[in-house]
Amino acid sequence: MKLDSLLIGREAVITAVGGQGALRCRLLDMGLIPKTAVRVEKIAPLGDPLELHVRGYSLSLRKEDARNIEVEVRP
């Protein structure tokens, strides 16, 4: 499943980071690397951006960028 379709409050583990060039490097630099836990905290009223909790900090990410991240939902 893609990160942009994860529901509020759900936690998942990143399995793959897609994108190309600078976008992929930027996502990896922000700590969005495979085997990292991520949780959706909030979604803006119009649906974009998402507020994520990753590695102990909050991160806002556009839905367009979140579509490049594959996650596996934790039970």
Write out pLDDT tens, residues 27-62.
999 999 999 999 999 999 988 899 999 999 999 999
Residue 60 near residue 9 (C-beta atoms within 8 A): no
In a 3-state reduction of DSSP, which class is residue 27?
Answer: helix
The residue type at 14: I
| Pairwise pLDDT comparison (75 vs 2), residue with the higher score | 2
pLDDT surpassing 80 at residue 75: no
Across the range 16-21, mean pLDDT stands at 89
Give me the pLDDT at residue 47, please.
Answer: 82
Domain spanning 3-73: CATH 2.30.30.90: yes
Give me the pLDDT at residue 34, please.
Answer: 94
Measure the CA–CA gap between 47 and 57, rounded to whole angstroms. Answer: 21
Give me the pLDDT at residue 3, please.
Answer: 92
pTM for the model: 0.85
